[in-house]
Amino acid sequence: MEQDEAKKRIEQLTDVINRYNHAYYTLSKPEISDQAYDLLLKELELLEKSFPALAHPNSPARRVGGEVTREFRQVTHRVPMLSLSNTYSKEEVEEWEARIHKLIGDQMEYVCELKFDGVAIGLTYQQGLLYQAVTRGDGVQGDDVTINIRTIHNIPLQLGGVGYPDFLEIRGEVFMPRVSFRQLNKTRLEEGEEPFANPRNAASGSLKMLDSAEVAKRRLDCFLYYLPGTDLPFKTHYESLQAAKSWGFPISAYIVRCSSIHEIFDFIREVDEVRKTLPFDIDGVVIKVNDLAQQEELGQTAKSPRWAIAYKFKAEQAETILKSVDFQVGRTGTVTPVANLQPVLLAGTVVKRATLHNADIMAALDIRLGDTIYVEKGGEIIPKITGVKLEARPSGTFPVSFPTVCPECNTPLVRNEGESAWYCPNHSGCPPQIKGKLEHFISRRAMNIETLGEGKIGMLYDSNLVRNAADLYGLQPGDLLGLEKVYRDPDTGKERKVSFQAKTVENILSGIQLSRSVPFDRLLFALGIRFVGETVARKLAFHFHSIDALMQADTEELTEVEEVGDKIANSVTEYFSQPEYLDLIHRLKEAGLNVSMSSETVVKKGTVLEGKSIVVSGVFQHHSREDLKRMIEEYGGKNTGSISLRTSFVLAGENMGHEKKKKAESLGIPLLSETEFLKLLHED
């Protein structure tokens, strides 16, 4: 076949397969048999393989995945992805509606939609073609997960219909249908992995997998529900969604327009009655002002739009009997009481365990073995006990006592002043702490070694192959082949053996190898330093640029970093003072992991700010605070969160904090305006 002929056939196949996908996955009206569809898709795949220059990034052949990425690039949202304010009562919704009327007037219409329990996503299209897909992230920046989004069949790769703009953004929710969730957990158990706690966690974990072919197997789904800041010729939110539907977007059928609070709650009651029968999870109803001009007039707070609110269904509650209490040790040594219950059906699942949180809550509940307790399950992974039915308490019972020594290693427990948790200080010898640190190290947001998991880590630890993160990088095929684990099948109750076969071993070692390229800030988070979460790890990495510089920093230098206070600074210095962790860092360096910022990450445009520590405070006319902080780093400077004698100058905007200004003046620290700063960079 000649190239021109191949190009024409590829275009024909692309159009017809896209049409069949839309009919099947969005409209639920199949137009072709599975066998005939597979033949068309196979023909397209063969043509694109034979003529790779003709293959388009948005080809329907990409639905099966196959692209592998090393990491997900951070993207700044064109319009921030805000969170909705939540409410749990009719009274709070009435108060919200009253505020809307007071600000806008009497002529109001609302749109009520389902609140999907998944992962927020923003999709952008250029000239009708899918260009980019970005997660919510922190609302300002998210991860580019486009290669994985292409595997979701009901998300159009190319828009149909007429009237869509050249540039279009639409937002919604990626979720895992219940049937896909059950199948995934069954597979994970068969492979010796821990099951996901709920479909939301499964969807989130799937969307951040590095291999899009694996994502495709998860059978994710999507609904879209909002077109932000787009120049569209519509007066209402409802009209914009109907147009989006005509362009091929998956828009939920559960949408109604309401003109009163009574109609809103009629819809809420209807949804509450049917939500258990839906093929996907929801946790409430979203109420939006329909008129787009009124939305703009109402505006937003720093975190949420004023023109929308989420009514969340109250957590379901059940009564059951407390049989016993276990005490679990986490990766930081925190001891958490977990109640073992007489099995009870709650929110569609059988609940056998529930968290008691800590010793103070146990004491407040005055919980005793044999008690009839109230247990709830809302969005929590583990259900929680909310109360005791005192009138049903058996006689002669005594409160459950909290242990004084670690239930795993018998080390005396300690409790820091001002904290509610008791914890085991034996961090280097307590088995669940060691395994917990390893599980944290391989987790998606850290090193993202997705070919490992809690079950496999347990097998490696129990076989004395791994005792810390550095041991992972010395594993050989012979160490892993044939390792066995026994698990109980949840359906049959029978015990089954799972062993590492050649393919599993290959996948594990490949995943470990890929993690060597994970950026420094995520490695820093993966170390599991107490109080150092993702955001703080990123700020420390961008401030110090290398593990060596961070290790040499004292508490004063650390507290200059934005969001780092005395508690975090002391935790970091304590971590790097311990010989076992210094040895771990040394071994990770030898294993070739990224222990400094790469030149691609720290993009330098100049050196005018080299060696300067700068505090950004206030609101600016031409740039956001994040943009200005980025400029500081690009020109060699360091962003710091607090003013000290080390501060070179303060980049001061309107409404600068009074205390910061007072301290800067008292220390003689210069205040630069945005204009003066840009002149300094020659950026004006």
Question: Would you give the distance in Å from CA 324 to the centre of its chain?
Answer: 33
Task: Determine how many CB atoms are found less than 10 A away from the CB of residue 312.
Answer: 18
Does residue 628 sit in helix, strand or coil?
A: helix
Q: Which residues fall within 8 angstroms of residue 638, CB to CB, at 6 or more apart?
A: 543, 560, 612, 613, 614, 632
Q: How many CB atoms lie under 10 A from the CB of residue 546?
A: 14
* 3-state SS class at 78: coil
Q: CA angle at residue 380 from 210 to 563, to 5 degrees?
A: 65
Q: In Å, how far are 12, 19, 37, 249 from 31, measured between CA atoms? A: 17, 9, 9, 18
**Residue whose C-alpha is closest to residue 324's, from 358, 394, 364, 371:** 371
Q: Is the CB of residue 412 less than 8 Å from the CB of residue 404?
A: yes
As a three-state string, the secondary structure of 326-391 is EEEECCCCEEEEEEEEEEEEECCEEEEEEECCCHHHHHHHCCECCCEEEEEECCCCCCEEEEECHH
What are the distances in angstroms from CA 135 to CA 119, 132, 301?
8, 10, 21
| CA nearest to 121, candidates 97, 98, 144 | 144
What does the angle CA 616 – CA 620 – CA 622 come to, to the nearest 5 degrees? 125
Catalytic option among 115, 245, 288, 435: 115
Q: How far apart are CA 540 and CA 571, in angstroms?
A: 13
Q: Give the separation between CA 230 and CA 212, rounded to whole angstroms.
A: 30
Block residue for tokens 């799937």: 206
**Two tokens, residue 419:** 């904290």
The reply to whether 115 belongs to the active site is yes
Phi, psi of 321 (to 5 degrees): -105, 135
> Which of the residues are catalytic?
115
